[in-house]
A and B are shown apart, each in its own frame.
Chain A
Amino acid sequence: MALTPLEAVRSDSTPLASPDAPAAKKIAGRSPSRIAFDRLRADKVAVGCTAIVLFFILVGIFAPLICKIFGVELRETPGAEALNIFTGYALIGPPEHSFTWEAPLGLQPGTGNDLLAEWVYGARTSLEVATIATVTTTIVGVVVGLIAGFARGWLDRIISFILDLFLSFPFLLGALTLAPIIVNRYATDEGKLDRAQFFSLIFVLTFFGWMGLARLVRGEVLSLREREFVQAARIIGVPTRSILFRELLPNLVAPIVVSISLGLPAFVTAEAGLAYLGIGLTSRPSWGQTISRAIPYFQDYWLYLWAPVLGVMLLVLALNLLGDSVRDAFDPKTRR
């Protein structure tokens, strides 16, 4: 994945030892996916991480409901009337007053926006971007990889060249260049600008994110296409498309699932990183934006900074560990 510049926390270290489930000695036919799933279920780290990821997904989906339960509103901007005019801090909650359920994470200094609402909607943005970007990169990567691997000859060489070409583009530079163009183009319409920023972010993440998977899939296909079942299918005249998607794709599930599970956290960090730099999403809540705003306050109002930092950290860590577990489960060679 060509996302390295922003990939802050990316733990490739192996998670805590997960004891292999001693399979029941019952003899039964089980698919590779079934076996992997069973291994996952027995893996405590995987289960714990799944719970955390599920928590964030639920937070994202039910963001409006959560805000309603806590009685807070997104970007209400009460302004000076809710603030200590001399310090800019809120009249309720931290850092100048004690905890209150009216604003569990406090109010943003300077504007009085509720930070819980900001956090909850930030989780939604984060997951939205990461999920969509993962889906699009996976589709592009798999299709290109399948074609390149199966094509042989000039088509394979061209696609491989394009792959190398894309890998040589600096991701951050691309994002930096695109941001002002988008802002200029949609300068006068806030709604359109917001959507344009969203889609351009997905576009940038996809544009610079599909090559890794494509290479992986191409490599797998290269070895698979010489196998007997593929040869047989070709001899009996199965159309190429069917061979690709019916015969080859099912055998690629493992690497694709692994790639997805490791791609998600990378996109979460990339989204936050770009928002932090002011070249990602700027008009809707995003953890990166909150972090960027909170930095001058780190001494006096640590909660302001730590809430989004912990959000990113926990989500990325859980996704990464889960990804490792998925990889272990699908790959019989990494027995532990």
Chain B
Amino acid sequence: MTIVVARGSNTPRKGYYMYWKRPMAAVSVLALTALAACGGGDNDGETSTGDPSDSATSFIEGGGAGQNQDAEAPVPVAEIEGAVAGGDIDVLSISGLTTMHPSEAYYVNTASILSNLVVRSLTQYIYDAESKQMVLVPDLATDLGTPNDDFTEWTFTLRDGIKYEDGSPVTPEDVGFGILASFDRDTFPDGAAYSNDYFLNGDKYKGPYSDPQGDCDCVTVSGNDITIKMAGPFPDMPYWGAFPAISPIPEAKAKDPNAYARHPLATGPYKFGDYKPGDTLELVRNDQWDQATDAARHAYPDSYNMDFNTPSATIDQTILADQGDAQTTMTYDNVLAPDLAKAKQSGNLVTGGQPCTAFWYPDSRKPEWKDINVRKALGYAYSYADAWLAGGEIVGVTRIPGTTIQPPGIPSRPEEYDVLGNGGERSDTEQAKQLLTDADALGTEVKFLYVTSDPLSVDAKNANVKTLTEAGFEPKPVAVADSTAAAEMRADPNAPLNLRSGGWCSDWPSGASWMPPLFGPTGGANYAYFDEKAVNTQIKEIQASPIDEQADLWAALDEEIMTKYYPVVNTGYYGVAALHGSAIQGFLNDDVFGMPTWKDIHVQE
């Protein structure tokens, strides 16, 4: 899933743009021990003064991203020790929710809120305190699905006794309709397209709203069993089954998708109360939800009141003040850099990884980038830490240097390799100049976007212009007035740019959710317009190879692409640094989304 990070906040928009620079010594990968809430860990009682030993290593790398599965998870889930029901939680964020229709919710905030609190899917994630990672467990299905031998057919069995918020029972046919709705790209253009990519007739069937007469002939229901036929092998189906898009939708009550998006029928512990799209959302208890059927959700608080129009500085100040209602207030936005020291002292800062990587994508269609050495020079000329700091990122916390395509936590991530030998964090303009001189490419124009109305974007642009100029490039930054225009222009293949910046987050922990979208011919995030026959064939071969070999093959491809082609510059992995009030417990980092572990949150007595 693509996300937008604007400033210090996780503004989850499709496509994002950002800049960064070089951080401290690379923290060791998978230092997941530090991922939990730093419960009062850094009480050094003063603002940190640049001592590199100061908690640098207490910050994370990446996340486990939920590669573990447990089909036998106990139902209902065990209570959390000391947690009691009750309390109202306020949630603040700077960015409004886009659509909340289960079939279309594909931003980290909408998908996370829906699937953790409101809508139940076939499978779900649970936070495992021991490994400090997310684990895939069954939700509406009784297990994680049964595939046939070659993973071209999956069968899920629906639990008994599931009801919608209005008391009507959830039928397997409703799940079937939900699956059909997930095909409908015309009605839900922003939704995830995995049904179209992997399910039988996904390329032909238009979905129930666009083509009421049609059918994909891929879903069959018998008794409580739902069988889905695939177009090819799809071993990752249980992960796709955790998306809100694969949830039951009652056909009769969802005739109007727009109305349904304003109030999706809840199957989870909370239902929509008052909802002003883009502004506020109130979640209240759904008394039709039965904890006895749920393998992961606790639902301790009585309600959530979410406000999506709060400036980042206000969020930080409110929660840090920790007075009155602020004690039960939380955010999933990243803390602003100037507030980090105080946030750490408060002991209420949650840091962790997010399975996302930011890239600079030189447009491979342009002749100036044909030479790999020019692309490498670009990697040396990126101003890493300068750009990160100027862009308001917290180096080592919200942005972590990296050299591999896949971030930590993805099982198919290769051993550390470093094509440029700069640790993903050091600009080397002399080396870049040497490469450019040898390639006879001094004065190569670099045309990239920045937003004039955002001072942080302007500052980050200036940082990169400086190093690019030093390296012998000729930076030609392209101005746009606001970030919406930037997102549009970046998505336009014919925009007057030859360098795009953006990030990619995995939808589930597998190379299959990295290499094809980033470097495949039809990749949704292939902003480099990278198209190599050899790589395309390899992607196809890996997708067709045995499941247990795939992770190693993706890892090898990761390294091969960067070593042989260097099509993108890794501009760092994402991290999370979110604040909550002192009375909120159970707020940890869900490293599948880089969002809170909603299911475990409770209010201290």
Contacts and interface: CB of A to CB of B under 8 A. Distances in A.
Given A278-B454, A282-B458, A77 B337 contact: no
A188 interface: yes
B325 interface: no
A310 interface: no
Chain A residues touching B, majority SS: loop
A278 B479 CA distance: 13
Contacts of B459: 110-111, 293
B21 A188 contact: no
Given A77-B466, A183-B481, A292-B455, A111 B390 contact: yes
B498 to A, nearest CB: 12
A301 B336 CA distance: 14
Contacts of B338: 87-88, 109, 296-297, 299-301
A88 B50 contact: no
Interface string A297-315: 1011100000000000000
Nearest to A84: B50
B389 A80 contact: yes
A86 interface: yes
Contacts of A188: 447, 476, 478-479, 496
B392 interface: yes
Given A79-B463, A96-B49, A188-B476, A110 B392 contact: yes
A333 to B, nearest CB: 46
Given A183-B480, A293-B455, A300-B338, A85 B466 contact: no
A35 interface: no
A152 to B, nearest CB: 46
Interface residues of A, number: 40
Contact of B48 (A87, A295, A296): A87
A282 B55 CA distance: 36
Interface in A239-262: none
Contacts of B48: 84, 86-87
B386 A187 contact: no
A187 B455 contact: no
A109 B339 CA distance: 12
Contacts of B21: 79-80
A79 B340 contact: no
Interface in B46-81: 47-50, 52, 54-56
Given A77-B466, A180-B485, A187-B480, A109 B458 contact: no
Contacts of A184: 480-481
Nearest to B24: A85
A110 B47 contact: no
Max chain B CB contacts within 10 Å: which of A75, A111, A190? Answer: A111
Contacts of A111: 386, 389-390, 459, 462-463
A186 interface: yes
A316 B391 CA distance: 32
A88 B456 CA distance: 13
Contacts of A292: 455
A179 interface: yes
Max chain A CB contacts within 10 Å: which of B387, B389, B394, B463? Answer: B389
A179 B480 CA distance: 10
Contacts of A86: 24, 48, 50, 52, 54-56, 340, 394-396
A193 B461 CA distance: 15
A229 to B, nearest CB: 54
Max chain B CB contacts within 10 Å: which of A79, A86, A110? Answer: A86
B479 A187 contact: yes
Contacts of B387: 79
Contact of B452 (A80, A278, A300): A278
Interface size band for B: 35 or more
A295 B317 CA distance: 12
Nearest to A189: B476
Interface string B508-522: 000000000000000
Contacts of A84: 48-50
Contacts of A75: 462
A183 B479 contact: yes
A184 B452 CA distance: 11
Contacts of B496: 187-188
B395 A295 contact: no
Contacts of A59: none
B464 to A, nearest CB: 10
B477 interface: yes
Contacts of A193: 452, 479
B383 interface: yes
Interface in B301-340: 312-313, 316-317, 336-340
Contacts of A79: 21, 383, 385-387, 389-390, 463, 466
Nearest to A108: B459
B481 A80 contact: no
Contacts of A96: 47, 49-50
Contacts of B462: 75, 77, 111
A289 interface: yes
A83 B23 CA distance: 11
Nearest to B49: A96
A283 interface: yes
Nearest to B466: A77
Contact of A278 (B383, B395, B455, B485): B455
Interface string A55-98: 00000000000000000000101011001111110010001100
B481 to A, nearest CB: 4
Given A86-B54, A184-B480, A296-B336, A80 B386 contact: yes
What are the 10 tightest A-B residue pairs by CB atom distance, in nearest-first order?
A79-B386, A278-B453, A180-B481, A84-B50, A80-B385, A282-B452, A183-B481, A187-B479, A296-B313, A111-B390
30 contacts: A77-B386, A77-B390, A77-B466, A79-B383, A79-B463, A80-B385, A80-B389, A80-B395, A83-B389, A85-B24, A85-B52, A86-B52, A86-B55, A86-B56, A87-B340, A88-B338, A88-B389, A110-B456, A110-B459, A111-B386, A179-B452, A179-B481, A180-B481, A189-B476, A190-B477, A278-B455, A296-B336, A296-B337, A297-B338, A300-B47
Interface of A: 75, 77, 79-80, 83-88, 91, 95-96, 109-111, 179-180, 183-184, 186-190, 193, 277-279, 282-283, 289, 292-293, 295-297, 299-301
